Each structure stands twice: as C-alpha cells, then as structure tokens.
A and B are shown apart, each in its own frame.
Chain A
Amino acid sequence: LAKTTQPISMDSYEGQEVNITCSHNNIATNDYITWYQQFPSQGPRFIIQGYKTKVTNEVASLFIPADRKSSTLSLPRVSLSDTAVYYCLVGDEGTGFQKLVFGTGTRLLVSP
C-alpha cells in the first residue's frame, strides 16, 4: 500500500477556499485516492474518491495530476463546521475488502 504524506495542520478563515495536498510517490497503477473527514470522537466519513484528473461532488473537489504522485483536496468556502482532521488514503478500488491505511491526517482549523 502506498504511503501518503500530508501537512500536519492547516489554518483558514470562514469563506475561504482550502486546498490540502497529499503526496503519494509510490502509488500503484490500480490505486485510487480517497479522502476521509473525521470530527472529534466520531468515525471517519468518506468525502471523495478519484483515480485521475478531477472529481467533484457536493462537498469537495479532488485534483489529481497526470503522474498521480500527489493529489489536492479542495474545500470551497469553508465554514467553522469544516474544522476536522482530513485523511488521504491510497489503495486498490475494492469491493469492501480494503484494509484502509490511515496516516496521521491534516488537522484543519477554521476560524471566524
């Protein structure tokens, strides 16, 4: 499983766009990139998943360059409730048999 590297923490203000970059130099051909969000004392929540180029849903966008050695999670116009830990994971697109490997994540603090 490819190892991922993320910033330990980031600070932002309400209404700003936040971009969190994840490095995964050893990503394999079959690997997908998945981001989870976790609030204190809660389980992680799936945000977005992608393989290449750009993926967008109602919550976030995921940008993946052609070499796929990094990815950027983009949160538009963050609010205080986006304060959480964000995890970048890399692994095979599974059918539920994935052994998810979490790093330490990026702690995002959104201030008024």
Chain B
Amino acid sequence: DAGVTQSPTHLIKTRGQQVTLRCSPKSGHDTVSWYQQALGQGPQFIFQYYEEEERQRGNFPDRFSGHQFPNYSSELNVNALLLGDSALYLCASSPVGGGEDTQYFGPGTRLTVL
C-alpha cells in the first residue's frame, strides 16, 4: 500500500515563472492538504481539498491555487514565483469520517526559485 507520493522531488525555477506540483494521496484517503515549509520553520498550511473543492485556506496569496481530481490526487500551482517561495512543499492526506485523527505526509517537493 503506497503512502502519499509527490512529484517532482526537486524543482528549480526562476522568478516570475509558474510551477505545478503533484500529489497522490494514501490509498483510501480523499482529503488532501498542502503545506509550505521554509528552511528552519515548521510547515505552514496553504489549503485543503475535499470533493474537488477548496475547503479551507491559510494565509497565502491568490498566486497559490490548487485542484483536486476525481481520483483524489491534487495539484498545487504557484504563479509569478518569488524568491521567498523557495521551500519544501508538503502534501498530506487523510480520510473523511474514518476516525483517523492524523494526516499522512508525503516526502515533499523541494522548490528553489532563483
């Protein structure tokens, strides 16, 4: 049983470009959350998707957008990249109503903006 998977592992972009990160949730999970983790900091919540809709959103600008597909996989899109967007982007999945009180995290995508 595969856990949460993310692609790509690493990515290098330049300022102003756009990037798309991908996440496949753990089998049986239908809720996907995205987090940004800057170096030396804890993860910060970006947004959460359930039933292909954004349910919650953290304090991130509209440059950050997402999508969830019918198979529960998800994408995170960031437009007009800034140097400060360099971070580890984490995807976490969880089941709805299944009694699990935790989220399972993927290995993350390391984004470097030059």
Contact = CB atoms under 8 A, between A and B. Distances in A.
Contacts of B48: 97, 99
The SS class assigned to the A binding surface is loop
Interface of B: 4, 29, 31, 33, 35, 40-45, 48, 50, 55-56, 58, 88, 90-92, 94-108, 110
Contacts of B41: 104
Contacts of B50: 97
A97 B96 contact: yes
B110 A41 contact: yes
Contacts of A41: 88, 107-108, 110
A4 B35 CA distance: 19
Which of B31, B88, B103, B110 is most buried by chain A, counting CB atoms within 10 A of its CB?
Answer: B103
Contacts, number: 78
Given A42-B108, A96-B95, A97-B56, A102 B43 contact: yes
Interface stretch (A10-18, A21-29, A44-52, A66-74): A44-52
Given A94-B101, A97-B50, A99-B33, 18 more contacts: A34-B101, A41-B107, A41-B110, A43-B4, A43-B108, A44-B43, A45-B105, A46-B103, A49-B102, A95-B96, A95-B100, A96-B100, A100-B45, A100-B92, A103-B42, A104-B40, A104-B41, A105-B42
Interface residues of A, number: 23
Contacts of A102: 35, 42-44
